[in-house]
Amino acid sequence: MRNILFVFAFLSLAIHLFAEDGSRLWLRYEPLPENIATHYSGKILYISSVNSETGKIIEKEFKEAFQAMTGKNLHSAKMDRGKNSICFEINKKLPEKYTIQTKPVKNGNYISIESADDKGLLYGMFHLLRLMQTQEDISNLNIRETPSYNRRILNHWDNIDGSIERGYAGASLWDWNDLPGTISPRYTEYARANASIGINGSVLNNVNANPKFISKEYLLKAAEIAKIFRPWGIQVYLSVNFSSPAELGGLPTSDPLDPAVRQWWKDKAKEIYSILPDFGGFLVKANSEGLPGPQDFGRTHADGANMLAEALEPYNGIVMWRAFVYNATSPDRAKQAYEEFMPLDGQFHKNVIIQVKNGPVDFQPREPFTPLFGAMQKTPLMVEFQITQEYLGFSKQLAYLAPLYKECLQSDTYAKGKGSTVAKCTDGSIFPQAITAIAGVANTGNDTNWTGHHFAQSNWYCFGRLAWNPDLTSEQIANEWIKMTFTNEPAFVEPVRQMMLDSREAVVNYMMPLGLAHLFAWEHHYGPQPWLAIPGARPDWMPSYYHKADAEGLGFNRTTTGSNAVSQYFPPLRDRYNSIETCPENLLLWFHHVPWNYRMQDGNTLWDELCYKYQAGVTSTRQFQNIWDKTASYIDKKRFDEVQYKLKVQTRDAIKWKDACLLYFQTFSRQAIPDAVERPVYDLEELK
Ligand code: GCU
């Protein structure tokens, strides 16, 4: 016994000495307190009929994690379902993806993890480990899990040169130069982290796709990555450039109705599957932001998508065709995806799914959901979220995004009456669909801590967890993430969880409250530039296109007297948005041009309310600093210091946002900033 205790003490020490740099993410497997650890003595691991690579992974991961957490060795045994055993078993008849159950056996019980395939067992294993990590009671389990979406995919906006579009955590994880010869150990770590949260697909390259990615040279590189991902249940997908037949294949055209072009894609699909036998499919950005597409040849999105779908069909590949389209000349960018795609509903091949950003403009801190959800009823749709914080302060600011994702997924479209949420309209429960999927634009890079900000890891984590089950609460997810990533200590968990839960709204408040959008600085999208006006630039890339500030008021009139974007929503939502009285205040300026002296629900004028919102955002960031400073004794110094520094930057930047927006909008409102609001510390001219 003393020996065991000694080993355990040594092990915990070794683990504590292991530098905490964020690289271990939520898979740290910290030693459990002695009183909990003793429950695990004498446990035996039994893995039946799982003789695959995945089976080996399960055995290794589980044994190592178990030992790290309990200090006890887990013996693999042939013994079938004995007392105290933890059994991983294939059960072909299981309707759920996996179950974890406590089952009786002579003189005691055992834990049974079952799935119809080894990937389900892998998920089951991570689930059980999560329960242990978060110190949940595992003495009487009856867990049945099935994911809401079949395909849970990360989109990497990674380029061939190693840069990442909108990436804030270093360079790309994929070393294209060194592949296929040299394999970074991080590919395995990446796959493992994803598997632990149920992610099962990865689009390796940027939607602004270089045609080279589907050249033989690059397919061979991607195949090496796929080989590593495979046992972790992760399928590789690629973004393709619509002009590839011309640019890569040397054809005179890329017209989707041209027989030679169609044949080129068929041959390409054949080649891809000969190199990547379980290739997932294509992600396509077409006729958007200058990228080529079928409309260049007078064809429709359906013509383009269907051509690719037919090429992939023999191999069970899919096409994720993006609906992110907007013209420079459109009077309301928020309407365009609906206008272009609704007429095509029902015209897409069965292995096409339309990938739609959560909001109709572009991943703003707050947008209503894109009205295509619920409206396109004869075509499968998938939600695309942005995990990387292009519009929420990069990896410099703390913004826990589960509340944003959930806000969209739980929005009621009313497509088939009350309760037709975006989640239900896309997971096959309202509209039967052969493919169900969800995507998140990844925030990973080659930074040691993967995501730049330690707390940005929680966005990768919560995306995976919500892709599996959108009904989980933001709070539950934050709770488990904090415990696994930092500590189970309630004095740490509780305030930090509150900080996370408040963080997205804080960003909305100091950047774009009350439904404002796109006040960002040109190109980099970090700081404020509501005044931006570049002669000759695309009007829909200028903030004034969105805020429409003038002497009368602020906001974009999208009601029936304006752009009529409200008409794209089902009643009663349409009417709720259309009326200034019933429009939710957090979307007021998205749908209405509101007079400066309009009385808000709390009696404040719009101007005063706007000022208070900006102030509330700044106040929150100061509270975050306060909360964090009290946590120093619970965690390692390195992560504490790094987060502390970033919170300081966040407060500074929140003040800049507040001053810039209020001083600029004040030039229209011509009203004083209320007394209760901190005086500006910057001058408008200086900020400009
Ligand atoms: C945003 C982003 C671009 C990206 C685009 C897309 O506009 O700023 O960098 O390419 O979205 O989603 O395609």
Residue 217 confidence (pLDDT) above 60: yes
515 contacts 528 by C-beta, under 8 angstroms: no
Residue 158 Cα to ligand 1 midpoint, Å, equals 12
Q: How confident is the model at residue 445 (pLDDT cuts 50, 70, 90)?
A: very high
What pLDDT sits at residue 39? Answer: 83
pLDDT digits (tens, 9 = 90+) for 632-645: 999 999 999 999 99
Among 325, 362, 520, the mutation site with the greatest number of ligand 1 atoms within 8 A of its Cβ is 362
Does the pLDDT at position 90 exceed 70? yes
Q: Distance, CA 73 to ligand 1 centroid (Å)? A: 49
pLDDT in tens, 369-410: 999 999 999 999 999 999 999 999 999 999 999 999 999 999
Q: Tokens 């080129």 appear where?
A: 264
Number of the ligand 1 atom closest to the C-alpha atom of 157: 10
Residue 12 has pLDDT above 50, yes or no: no
Euclidean distance between CA atoms 445 and 455, whole angstroms: 14
- Determine the average pLDDT of the residues in 296-307: 98
For residues 46 and 570, the model is more confident at 570
Which of the following is catalytic: 267, 289, 494, 683? 289
What is the mean predicted confidence (pLDDT) over 13-21?
62
Q: Which residues of 335-367 are buried (b: 16+ CB within 10 A; e: fewer)?
A: bbbbebbeebbebbbebbbbbbbbbbbbbbbbb
- Summarize pLDDT for 131-162 with one digit per residue, the tens: 999 999 999 999 999 999 999 999 999 999 99
pLDDT, tens digit (0-9, with 9 covering 90-100), for 568-595: 999 999 999 999 999 999 999 999 999 9
How far is 88 from 97, CA to CA, in rounded Å? 13
Under the banding of pLDDT at 50, 70 and 90, the label for residue 666 is: very high
Which of 168, 239, 289 to mutate for ligand 1's pocket (most ligand atoms within 8 Å of CB)?
289
Q: Which residue has the tokens 């429709």?
A: 300
Strands 108-115 vs 98-105: parallel, antiparallel or unpaired: antiparallel
Distance CA 431, CA 413 (A): 13
Q: What is the pLDDT of residue 101?
A: 98
Alpha carbons 172 and 169: distance in angstroms, whole number = 9
What dotted CATH number matches 22-145? 3.30.379.10
CA distance 445 to 453: 11
- Give the pLDDT mean for 196-223: 98
Contact between residue 552 and residue 669 where contact means Cβ atoms under 8 Å apart: no
pLDDT(273) > 60: yes
**Mean pLDDT computed over 246-261:** 98
* Average of per-residue pLDDT values in the chain: 95
Kindly list the distances between the CA atom of residue 188 and the CA atoms of 127, 433, 488, 608, 616, in Å, as whole numbers in the listed order: 19, 32, 27, 52, 43
CA distance 206 to 157: 4
For 61-82, what is the mean pLDDT? 88
- Arithmetic mean of pLDDT, 28-56: 88
Q: Where exactly are the structural domains of the chain?
A: 22-145, 151-472, 509-556+593-687
Return the ligand 1 atom nearest residue 207 CA.
13
In this prediction, residue 329 carries a pLDDT of: 85
Q: How far apart are CA 47 and CA 250, in angstroms?
A: 52
Asked if the model's pLDDT at residue 297 lies above 70, the reply is: yes
Nearest residue by C-alpha to atom 2 in ligand 1: 166
Q: How large is the angle between the packed helices 402-409 and 490-511, nearest 10 degrees?
A: 70
Q: If you measure from the C-alpha of residue 463 to the centroid of ligand 1, how many angstroms do you get, rounded to a whole number? A: 19
Reply yes or no on whether 289 is catalytic.
yes
Q: What is the average pLDDT across 444-448? A: 98
Burial of 181-209, coded b for 16+ CB within 10 Å and e otherwise, reads eeebebbebbbbbbbbbbbbbbbbbbbeb
Residue 374 Ramachandran class (φ > 0 left, ψ -120 to 50 alpha, else beta): left
Which ligand 1 atom sits nearest the alpha carbon of residue 386? 12
List the one residue out of 385, 505, 377, 487 whose CA is nearest residue 438: 385
Taking the centre of ligand 1 as the mean of its atom positions, its distance from the CA of residue 638, in whole angstroms, is 33
Whether the domain at 151-472 and the domain at 509-556+593-687 fall into the same CATH topology: no
Q: What is the pLDDT of residue 40?
A: 85
Task: Look at residue 16 and tell me whether its pLDDT is greater than 70.
Answer: no
Alpha-carbon dihedral sign for residues 520, 523, 527, 532: negative
CATH of 509-556+593-687, one of 2.40.30.40, 3.90.1330.10, 3.50.50.60, 3.90.420.10: 3.90.1330.10
| 302 pLDDT above the threshold of 70 | yes
Ligand 1, atom 12, lies closest to the CA of 324
Q: What percent of the chain has pLDDT over 90?
A: 91
Ligand 1-lining residues (CB < 6 angstroms): 165-166, 207-208, 285, 324, 362, 390
Instruction: Give the per-residue pLDDT at 4.
Output: 46
Count CA atoms closer than 13 A to 121's CA, side-chain side: 32
Atom of ligand 1 nearest to the CA of 285: 13
H or E stretch including 176? none
390 alpha carbon to ligand 1 midpoint, in Å?
Answer: 9
Question: Which residue, by CA, sits nearest to atom 10 of ligand 1?
Answer: 208
Distance 326 CA to ligand 1 centre (A): 12
Q: What local confidence, expressed as pLDDT, does residue 18 receive? A: 57
- pLDDT band of 113, cuts 50, 70, 90: very high
Q: What is the pLDDT of residues 129-138, one digit of tens each?
A: 999 999 999 9
Closest atom of ligand 1 relative to the 525 alpha carbon: 8
Q: 424 pLDDT exceeds 80?
A: yes
Q: Report which of residues 410 and 79 the model is more confident about.
A: 410
Ligand 1 pocket: which of 155, 156, 157 to mutate (most atoms within 8 A of CB): 157
Backbone φ and ψ for 304, nearest 5 degrees, come out as -70, -50
Whether the pLDDT of residue 218 is over 60: the answer is: yes
**Partner residues linked to 575 by β-bridges:** none
DSSP secondary structure, 488-523, as one string: --HHHHHHHHHHHHHHHHHHHHHHSGGG----BPTT
Residue 325 CA, ligand 1 centroid: distance in Å: 10
Which CA distances in Å does 340 have to 376, 465, 496, 624?
Answer: 11, 32, 44, 43
Q: Are 501 and 510 in contact (CB under 8 A)?
A: no
Beta-carbon contacts of residue 42 (< 8 Å; ≥ 6 apart) = 84
Please state which CATH class domain 151-472 belongs to: alpha beta
Name which residue sits closest to atom 11 of ligand 1, judged by CA: 362
**Among protein residues, the one whose CA lies closest to atom 7 of ligand 1:** 362
Percent of the chain, pLDDT > 70? 97
How sure is the predictor about 83, in pLDDT bands with cuts at 50, 70 and 90? confident
Distance (angstroms) between ligand 1 centre and the Cα of 279 equals: 25
Whether residue 6 has pLDDT greater than 60: no
User: Could you identify the atom of ligand 1 that is nearest to the CA of residue 384?
Assistant: 12
Number of alpha helices (DSSP H) and beta strands (DSSP E) in the chain: 22, 16
Q: Is 390 a catalytic residue?
A: yes
pLDDT at residue 11 above 60? no
Ligand 1 test: best mutation among 155, 159, 166, most atoms within 8 Å of CB? 166
Bridge partners (DSSP) listed for residue 417: 415
Q: Which residue blocks in 288-401 are alpha helix, DSSP H?
A: 301-312, 333-341, 372-375
Start-end of H helices in 319-431: 333-341, 372-375, 402-409, 422-426
The CA dihedral of 172, 173, 174, 178, to the nearest 10 degrees, is: 100
Q: Whose CA is nearest to atom 13 of ligand 1?
A: 207
The catalytic residue among 61, 303, 340, 390 is 390
- Burial class of residue 324, CB neighbours in 10 A (0-12, 13-18, 19+): buried
Task: Report pLDDT for 19.
Answer: 78
Report CA(367)–ligand 1 centroid distance (Å).
16
Q: What is the pLDDT of residue 635?
A: 98
Name the active-site residue from 175, 332, 362, 427.
362
Q: Supply the pLDDT for residue 82.
A: 84
Higher pLDDT, 125 or 46: 125
* pLDDT tens-digit readout, 515-546: 999 999 998 999 999 999 999 999 999 999 99
